[in-house]
Amino acid sequence: MLEFKNAITNDPDGALTSWNSTVHFCRWAGISCSPEQRVIALSLPRSNLEGALSPHAGNLSFLQSLDLKGNRFRGHIPQEFGNLLRLQTLNLSANSLLGEIPVNLTRCSRLREIWLTDNALVGGIPEEVGLWPNIEVIRVSKNQLTGSIPASLGNLSKLQNFGAAYNHLSGRIPETVARLSRLSRFVVGINQLNGTIPPSLYNLSSMTILTLVYNQFQGTIPMDIGFTLPNLQSYGISLNWMSGPIPASLCNASQMQDMNMNRNSFSGSIPTCFGSLPNLLYYNSGLNNLGTNSSGDLEFITGLSNCSQLQELGVSLNNLGGELPDSVANLSAKLYQFDVSFNSIRGNIPGGLQNLASLNKLDLSYNLFTGQLPSYFSKFQSLQGMWMAENQLSGGIPSYIGNLSGLTQLDVSNNNLEGVVPRSLGSCQQLNLLDLSANGLTGQIPREIFNLSSLSIGFNLSRNSLAGHIPYEIGSLEIVEALDLSYNSMIGGIPDTIGECKSLKALFLQGNSFTGSIPPTLGSLQVMKSLDLSLNNLTGGIPPGLQDIQTMQYLNLSFNRLQGEVPTKGVFTNASGVSVIGNLMLCDGVAELHLPDCPIERTTNGKRVVKLTLIIVLVSVFVLSLAGLLLHCKMRRSKKKISDGSSALSHFVMVSYKDLHQGTNGFSPENLIGSGGFGTGIWHRNLVRILTYCSSLDRKGKEFKALVFEYMPNGSLEEWLHSSRNLTLIQRLNIAADVASGLYYLHDLCETPIVHCDVKPSNLDADMVAHVSDFGLARVLSTNVNNSSQTKSSTIGIKGTIGYAPPEYGMGIVVSKEGDVYSYGILLLEIFTGKRPTSEMFGEGVNIHDFVKAAIPNNILSVLDPLMILSVATCGLRAFGASVGGVEIEEMVLTESARNCLLAVLEIAVGCSTEFPSERMKMADVAKKLISIRDGFIASTSVSRQRRTERG
């Protein structure tokens, strides 16, 4: 016994103080002895003991019970414990034990209970467990056990309680469990078990708790489960691959308290007879295929009125339609969670909900509810979470919400709410999430809102019509992680106090009218990942401190009036994560941003000397250049003439024809970006960069010219759109914005406007950034559009790709920016439909433009690329049932944010590809709108994912 004590390294509570030679061991704390003074029990649960389990405890040959649960024992379970042949109860739960379950323990033939839960045990459950003839309880949950459930488990005829949840067990449930006639608890959730559930498991009539959650089981629930398991009290089958209907026979299990069936593929209706389960406390069948989007789908609520003990009701993410029945008023007064989100429930929010005074979580989001937020919500004094997002609610945000002092999350985003943001919201001092985005709110944001120091998850007022300034009180939001005020009408400067929001990971202020400089204090936000200040009127330079934020992954400063040098460290080294387009006065930065060099600053003191020196240099350069030109012209007359164009490339290192022939595998088509057109000196992030050139004679003595462009590791966009590979929705939005930005640069930001003339699927670099190949920059527009000779000559040799070339080019019309816009519109349609404009499905007067236009706005799902839809479930798209490649599609549903995003993109594509040039959009507007659509969608999906994660 003292050896056991010696293995204890820490006893902060003095549990073993009495263990000394001055006191008889039978009087030691935790020790029980037989009349013969033999130690028969050692019980020191939750005594905060730390150390190892002494193998000397195996010498207590008369020990019947060993209970050391809830301590901090570490190391292995001693093999010597197998010598305790009289042991009946072993409880080592909630420690930090390592290693495998000793096989020697199976020698303890009198063992009735073994509790090893909540440790760090590894290995498998020994097959030898079948040698415990008297075992009644085996609990090994919350470890790191692997392997399968041993078939020998079926030999334990007295087994009543088996728990092995929260491990890494795999394989199937053995059929031998059918022999466990006394089994009442079978808990194996959160493992990797698979296959079908043995039908024999459902014949164990003594079963009261059956938990199979979070595995990979498939198949259906037996229709007679309620008759074969009449004593069932808790049934958990959630997070599996089960299908078929929910059996109405479950209503026969009259003792049922907990039914958890969410996240499967159950279909059909929710049985109305569940109301005959008087003890039902929790019911959750969310994220299935239940319902038919019709009025009868919610009849089960009327039945549940008889469940007077019901506390939680969850049926989210199904196909439930109709209106909430008035019988909702008769649900249990103890109901504290009511979740019908992500369905198609319509109509007003019923008045009967006001009877549910105990509600603390109310989720009606992502439905079709109309009308106003009911005034009786003010009665819900226990309410902690109110989610009403993505409905069609109207009216104002009621001021009474400020009286719900316990509210922690409020989300009424994506509705039709109007009016001002009530000041009373500032009284909700426990709010950690406030989302009022995508409504029609006006006025200024009350200062009281910015004093909600409890906000941590997110603060989102984006996509409204809010005006005014950001108050300095924004610095009170010290623990908020996401702040979004984008796409409003806010003015003024960004206050320096925003640097006090030390927990900010995402800040979105784009699409306003903010002025002034970017606060240098933003550089102190050291956990920032995403920052978007685009589409404002910000001036001044980029604070150098932004490059020191090591966590920054996305930075968008585009379309402002920034000037000066762009930093070259941190996030600024990742051209795919930074956007500064639309700021004409920025310079330097990394080469991939393709910005001009910054001018060299000169001091005032040397001004006159510099001017004189400059004059001398310029005169010298002119004289030398003139002499060189005369000499060059003389030499050219004596040599074979070579066509124009190479002089613009004189600053590149030339390569020979031989080297180029070898390096491109004989000019393999795989390495050919294109042919024809000419190269330029235009630089932009979304234009392919020229590396070098070759001007020589080929093997037949003919003139040969080639440009060598930077390598595009991901090939062409066409290969991605029309092969087994797939692009996600976010990737497609990025590519669309990249190409639009490149064309916008050519059309409007170059000193002389340039028309591409051959826009088609672009090249993708290693970061999936799209680049427009500048070999096709075929025409420089004259600044004098009235010069008829220039206009006429610009039509000579027009080239384009069939399907992408605008119709007017075929009629000899002059090239124009509008022609590029048409080609871009066709490309945009191809990106999001996955269909080539030259597909055989288009003919007899129908083209890809007409095909998509006919589907707007109510049938866009029918024209979208199904591979995109089914591959981006995490980006706001939900797929129900089957899919692509031989698996049948039953139904696919777009969330409101995803639908709005895709609808807006298709409308832009159609607006670009109209027949008449004068009706087409401008590339400047296209680029700005696409960037806005992309950033808004990314923001909404990231907030949605974070919100769902926080809510579990």
**Residue at which a domain ends, from 361, 388, 412:** 361
The residues with which 763 forms a beta bridge, in sequence order, are: 716, 771
- pLDDT tens readout for residues 443-485: 999 999 998 999 999 999 999 999 999 999 999 999 999 999 9
Query: Is residue 376 one of the residues assigned to a domain?
Result: no
Is 383 buried (19+), middle (13-18) or exposed (0-12) by CB count in 10 A? buried
User: β-strands 346-348, 513-514: how paired?
Assistant: unpaired
Q: How many whole angstroms separate alpha carbon 604 and alpha carbon 597?
A: 22
pLDDT at 128 over 60: yes
Query: Is residue 583 one of the residues assigned to a domain?
Result: no
Query: Is residue 267 one of the residues assigned to a domain?
Result: yes
Q: Which of 118, 758, 765, 935 is catalytic?
A: 758
Query: Is residue 500 one of the residues assigned to a domain?
Result: no
Those residues with Cβ within 8 angstroms of residue 418's Cβ, 6 or more apart along the chain or in another chain = 394, 395, 396, 439, 440, 441, 442
Query: Is residue 653 one of the residues assigned to a domain?
Result: no
C-alpha distances (whole Å) from 710 to each of 562, 655, 743 are: 29, 14, 19
Query: Is residue 502 one of the residues assigned to a domain?
Result: no
Higher pLDDT residue, 760 or 623? 760
Segment holding 821, helix H or strand E: helix 817-833
pLDDT at 440 over 70: yes
Lowest-pLDDT choice from 87-101, 620-634, 638-652? 638-652
Q: Domain tally for the chain?
A: 2
Give the rounded percent of residues in the chain with a pLDDT score beyond 70. 77
**DSSP line for 835-881:** --TT-TTS-TT--HHHHHHTTTTT-GGGTS-HHHHHH-GGGTEEEES
pLDDT score at 90: 97
Both tokens of residue 903? 């609808």
Q: How many whole angstroms separate alpha carbon 501 and alpha carbon 527?
A: 10
Average of per-residue pLDDT values in the chain: 83
Q: Using an 8 Å Cβ cutoff, are 305 and 328 in contact?
A: no
**DSSP line for 387-430:** E--SS---SBPPGGGGG-TT--EEE--SS--EEPPPGGGGG-TT
> What sign has the CA pseudo-torsion 411, 416, 417, 419?
positive
Look up 411 and say whether it is catalytic.
no
Q: How many whole angstroms separate alpha carbon 280 and alpha carbon 315?
A: 15
Q: Containing domain of residue 747, as a range?
A: 716-940
Q: What angle do CA 668, 672, 678 make, to 5 degrees?
A: 140
Q: Using an 8 Å Cβ cutoff, are 81 and 59 in contact?
A: no
**DSSP line for 716-747:** BHHHHHTSS----HHHHHHHHHHHHHHHHIII
User: Residue 724 belongs to a domain with what CATH number?
Assistant: 1.10.510.10
Position 877 confidence tier, pLDDT thresholds 50, 70, 90: very low
Residue with tokens 């005369």: 630
Query: Is residue 235 one of the residues assigned to a domain?
Result: yes
Position 811 confidence tier, pLDDT thresholds 50, 70, 90: low
**Residue at which a domain ends, from 303, 332, 361:** 361
User: Residue 258 belongs to a domain with what CATH number?
Assistant: 3.80.10.10
Q: Report yes or no on whether pTM surpasses 0.85.
A: no
Higher pLDDT residue, 709 or 143? 143
First-last CA distance in the chain: 47
Mean pLDDT, range 404-419, rounded to an integer: 95
Query: Is residue 582 one of the residues assigned to a domain?
Result: no
Q: How many whole angstroms separate alpha carbon 794 and alpha carbon 814?
A: 7
- pLDDT tens readout for residues 616-644: 444 444 445 554 554 454 444 444 333 34
Lowest-pLDDT choice from 112-116, 200-204, 656-660, 924-928? 656-660
**Residue at which a domain ends, from 320, 338, 361:** 361
